[in-house]
Chains A and B, each alone.
Chain A
């Protein structure tokens, strides 16, 4: 396996099309992901984000178009692509009956690495799972599963990582942990491709954001570039309604004089 020369993009997608039966899900998708960056594919449910991830990770064949990962064609050099990537699917793909450590050891063995046990222990420590290492994954919380899932994806340090909706269904705390893990990855030079339906997630994490809508990329750029798509910020005057709290405090009254106290916020009319 030879690394592609020149600063080729880590992921290159051109005119990608895919239909399920009669339904065209992807109708000509184009985008590129720079090596070592975090790229977020935004889209509503059913927009085809998972389909893109499956094609990129060689789980699904495209109908048309070119898809390259680190210079390798997903259709003709699928084995090389699989050497370069790791997939964290939409649902934590962990083995419930095995322990966390056994899951990690299994992945290390399948990646044909030396001393799988040591690798597993390192990962457990890195993702704060050491205490639960020998418990069945079935007893893990959602956040722990997701951490284990990501830990499994990182074994063997693949240069490109796909995260399909990594925080869907997680509580706010677990979500922050995943975000931190993603940032750490990018700092180490890993290319991260993530899909999300949460705008703040893309805003928070991604170097570059693309919006997938009705089978096409309708916007693609950095956050600053995307913001320029809208007219520049303008100052608006908005009528300020009293909050329920203010109303409450007022009617309960500061005095017993009756009548409306003078500190009631006034609504202004334009």
Chain B
């Protein structure tokens, strides 16, 4: 049935994109918490944080973008859960379609929704004084990293959506992910953190991703961070994809 994979995914993606177009509030809600955090840090805490030659909004924007992605994928889990709950998932599965297109449609929709929210957040950042002299290639690299990170978290969201027992439970997996940037180099340099916290902060995925994106936006050499960042994204993506397939199969046995 793989012959229809593309057509079926297109039809189903068009469907969930309509959902987004008709409830634009999900895009706004996704963007609003990261924007609030950004305001708080730029105008309240930021003045007291020493980020060297980089302005604070430039320093912390990468972390805010990751928070946006983490809160965006909560809706992916919720949309998938709603489909399962309403029975429309089973309707699709009982039809002569490429079965995996149902999941792929949710994944692509997640990507579009998150990218829209990211655009909103970056526009607000520009209003608060964010400027970057990064060239097209650097922006492209940033987009690539963020897309990979979104895909990795989206497949995590698929696991959550497939195995959740309630709508609240479906979105809850994203809370720790939203919190992760706070214990990283996203908002403050890690040097001042006490030993074990610092060790965690410097070795968790967010730090390498934040550092890589920040270096690209501020035109610094990216060093090894970008490779560590890519390894984390691809690693999480593959693991999450695998466990999502397991969760999917468990539903059909």
Do the two shown chains form a genuine complex with each other? Answer: yes
- Chain A residues at the B interface, C-beta cutoff of 8 Å: 54, 57-61, 79, 82-83, 85-87, 89-98, 102, 106-107, 109-112, 152
Cα-based distance from A90 to B94 in the complex (angstroms): 14
Question: Is B86's beta carbon under 8 Å from chain A?
Answer: yes
Specify which of B18, B90, B252 lies most central, judged by the most chain A CB atoms within 10 Å of its CB.
Answer: B90
Q: Which positions 172-221 of chain B face chain A at CB distance < 8 Å?
A: none
User: How many Å from the CB of B241 to the closest CB on chain A?
Assistant: 22
Q: Tell me the interface secondary structure of chain A in the complex.
A: loop
User: A98 near B94 (CB under 8 angstroms)?
Assistant: no
What class of interface size applies to chain B in its complex with A?
Answer: 20 to 34
Instruction: Tell me which residues across on chain B come within 8 A of A111, comparing CB atoms.
Output: 95-96
Instruction: Tell me which residues across on chain B come within 8 A of A93, comparing CB atoms.
Output: 86-88, 90-91
Instruction: Tell me which residues across on chain A come within 8 A of B95, comparing CB atoms.
Output: 82, 86, 107, 110-111
Q: Which residue of A lies closest to B22 (CB)?
A: A97
Question: Is B50's beta carbon under 8 Å from chain A?
Answer: no
Question: Is B165's beta carbon under 8 Å from chain A?
Answer: no
Instruction: Tell me which residues across on chain B come within 8 A of A86, comparing CB atoms.
Output: 94-95
Cα-based distance from A54 to B93 in the complex (angstroms): 11
Instruction: Tell me which residues across on chain A come within 8 A of B4, comparing CB atoms.
Output: 112
**With A79-B96, A112-B7 as contacts: A89 and B18 at CB distance below 8 Å:** no
Cα-based distance from A59 to B19 in the complex (angstroms): 25
Question: Is B131's beta carbon under 8 Å from chain A?
Answer: no
User: How many Å from the CB of A107 to the closest CB on chain B?
Assistant: 8
Cα-based distance from A125 to B127 in the complex (angstroms): 52
User: B94 near A60 (CB under 8 angstroms)?
Assistant: no
User: How many Å from the CB of B103 to the closest CB on chain A?
Assistant: 15
**30 pairs across A/B with beta carbons < 8 Å?**
A58-B93, A59-B94, A59-B252, A60-B252, A61-B252, A61-B253, A79-B1, A82-B97, A83-B96, A86-B95, A87-B91, A91-B86, A91-B87, A93-B90, A94-B88, A95-B15, A97-B19, A97-B23, A98-B15, A98-B18, A102-B15, A106-B11, A106-B12, A106-B15, A110-B8, A110-B12, A110-B95, A111-B95, A112-B4, A152-B91
